Structure 1
């Protein structure tokens, strides 16, 4: 683990309530991030989010990942899916695997709202100019279960929420933490959320590309930062919540602009799921862990022997995105008196300092 260039970290110094891992000197690996260190660093990829809060009853939302190519009539992009564990309701999965492509933006939301979100996504795409005669469409909607902090049975996501997320999608830096589809999620004993990171990749004689990752974290295990376990019980003491069911899922979306084909993209997606292990996922049987990778670049003939830099970047960006999804989240009180506390970053820094992380 290396400190970011020009930064230092001393145990005991004041730390804000939420910070990106990179700002704390805890960015994983030595790869170079893009300008915003998020998925929108991949050209022509935009993100839109809508967050819903209603007292302590509702904390949920929608996150839309919108590549320009599929935001117009007839648009398709090569894509691959890797399933770490299939305990989930990923709408559109079988056609994505069969044809190796996506033909709509990708939505993320809460489990029982996935089907309403899919219907709204179909309405959005059918209404695009030039799609007046379309009779078949494969919406792609991922989900995690935010029922610990939100009234999931009320299925609060409406068509208007989905349309707002799609229509406001932008290439501005991605909001992270308790936003969009991560508004009510929890992960590794703490409040989870949306996270995003990117890496610029040198492909040698093949040029360069960008790998961007966006995550919706909502899974169990022991948070691990730079190889140091951060036990929620020890970190939170009496505030630790033991009522969270094991599992509950993670959605990972990877964007690339290298011109990879669907088979290669499935291999990239697998590396994103592998990246979950770096932050301490226990891959519980009740966790639906899915990664979708798509490529916005012109088709190329990059051989598999040249894919290692992309594989490494996907794992590293996934790790950083997952850390940021927790580090930027805030304590949230939810339905039935449940509370999920943010990661105490001063505790993380102290533990990492004691383990010698900042001297490595």
Structure 2
């Protein structure tokens, strides 16, 4: 288990440590999805140093287990070329009844069965469950046809989920992913916007991403094409690239409003240079942990949350890239880490390294 291996221990750091600051809104204390009270993250990583670079990441809202209730939720498919298990029931009912598990494309169905085991163990009398599993295709670097994910790997990620700053980069479901020509992985960020038109003003919006999509990396509006910045590298776009985004908030929103947040999460991919290609399954899941007794936030008060989602997702995507390490995988293919010395500064402070 490697829930809290920090990127710094692997010689890589987050966007803000490099002088890259997204937007003016304040972050939560950890600048992570776990800044939303009750939201936990767990990882299981499989990396043999050769042909296998894959894993599982679980986002576990404690409210589902501790309080036994469904949470308002929505899914938005920017491009539906993917296998998001459980999405149609979320669309129909507007609720999340399961942790969100992320993994590799061909392991998604085994992961769903394992998540079903987890849910059944917690509800011995239940006869219907809606496990939610998202995926991206890590087959460029990992031998995806081996389908190495087992029930134990999924249960370890779920049962080991915790608060604190989650590990990022080449960990969990991001171990073998690539994005924008570089090695990518898992990234997270958060924002603390001031809600308008309600007595509930102190809200948190957090995002976690599994980045695995094509395009040209853009940082603060500056393109960073890999073929120009890394000798010998190419911007070849693997088949089956995608992005999974999980957005959590403690703002009191209904499913319709959460769908509006989920759409903005997909929009934020464009800020970092996403190509939104034919084969890219780009999905966002948004849910609220707020007490059901709180009055809903009015639509007129959503603008600060829209800005928070856009900024948090953009920074989470950058963190997924900046914390990832150069990886050589199946068939000798390599994806390089983003070179820090070529990054533009968008905020205060000096870049490191």
TM above 0.5, yes or no, is yes
TM-score, normalised relative to structure 1:
0.90
> Which sections of structure 2, spanning at least 5 residues, go unmatched?
1-9
SS of equivalent to 2:162: coil
How many residue pairs get aligned? The number is 336
Q: CA deviation at 1:244?
A: 3.8
Is the 2:193–2:202 contact (alpha carbons within 8 Å) kept by the matching residues of 1? Answer: yes
Q: CA deviation at 1:70?
A: 1.8
Match of 1:330 in 2: 325
Q: CA deviation at 1:301?
A: 2.2
SS of equivalent to 1:259: coil
Match of 1:22 in 2: 16
> RMSD between aligned alpha carbons?
1.6
Superposed counterparts of 1:238-253, under 5 Å: 238=232, 240-245=233-238, 248-253=241-246
Is the 1:71–1:105 contact (alpha carbons within 8 Å) kept by the matching residues of 2? Answer: no
Matched, 1:345 2:340: yes
SS of equivalent to 1:31: coil
Match of 2:156 in 1: 164
Matched, 1:70 2:70: no
Q: Which moved more, 1:244-253 or 1:107-116?
A: 244-253
Q: CA deviation at 1:17?
A: 4.9
SS of equivalent to 2:274: coil
Matched, 1:105 2:131: no
State the distance in 1 between where 2:348 and 2:66 align: 47
State the distance in 2 between where 1:331 and 1:26 align: 20
Is the 2:225–2:235 contact (alpha carbons within 8 Å) kept by the matching residues of 1? Answer: no
Is the 2:197–2:301 contact (alpha carbons within 8 Å) kept by the matching residues of 1? Answer: no
Are residues 165 and 255 of structure 1, via their aligned partners in 2, closer, same or farther at CA, if it must alter by over 3 Å? same
Are residues 282 and 243 of structure 1, via their aligned partners in 2, closer, same or farther at CA, if it must alter by over 3 Å? closer
SS of equivalent to 1:84: strand
State the distance in 1 between where 2:180 and 2:287 align: 27
TM-score, normalised relative to structure 2:
0.92
Q: Which moved more, 1:109-118 or 1:245-254?
A: 245-254
Match of 2:303 in 1: 308
Q: In the alignment, which of 69, 76, 88 is matched to residue 94 of structure 1?
A: 88
Task: Please give the per-residue CA displacement for 1:52-100, whole angstroms capped at 9, x wherever unaligned.
Answer: 0113110000000000122258431000111100000000010010000
Are residues 33 and 165 of structure 1, via their aligned partners in 2, closer, same or farther at CA, if it must alter by over 3 Å? same
Q: CA deviation at 1:208?
A: 1.8
State the distance in 2 between where 1:246 and 1:346 align: 29
State the distance in 2 between where 1:222 and 1:330 align: 18
Q: CA deviation at 1:246?
A: 5.1
Is the 2:136–2:240 contact (alpha carbons within 8 Å) kept by the matching residues of 1? Answer: no
State the distance in 2 between where 1:24 and 1:95 align: 41
State the distance in 1 between where 2:66 and 2:115 align: 13
State the distance in 2 between where 1:313 and 1:246 align: 31
SS of equivalent to 1:285: coil
Q: CA deviation at 1:18?
A: 2.0
Which segments of structure 1 move beyond 3 Å, counting only runs of 4 or more? Answer: 241-244, 356-359
> Which sections of structure 1, spanning at least 5 residues, go unmatched?
1-15
Match of 1:39 in 2: 33
Q: In the alignment, which of 225, 229, 232 is matched to residue 219 of structure 2?
A: 225
Task: Please give the per-residue CA displacement for 1:313-346, whole angstroms capped at 9, x wherever unaligned.
Answer: 0000000000000000000010011011100111
Q: CA deviation at 1:358?
A: 6.9
Q: Which moved more, 1:158-167 or 1:48-57?
A: 48-57
State the distance in 1 between where 2:203 and 2:281 align: 29
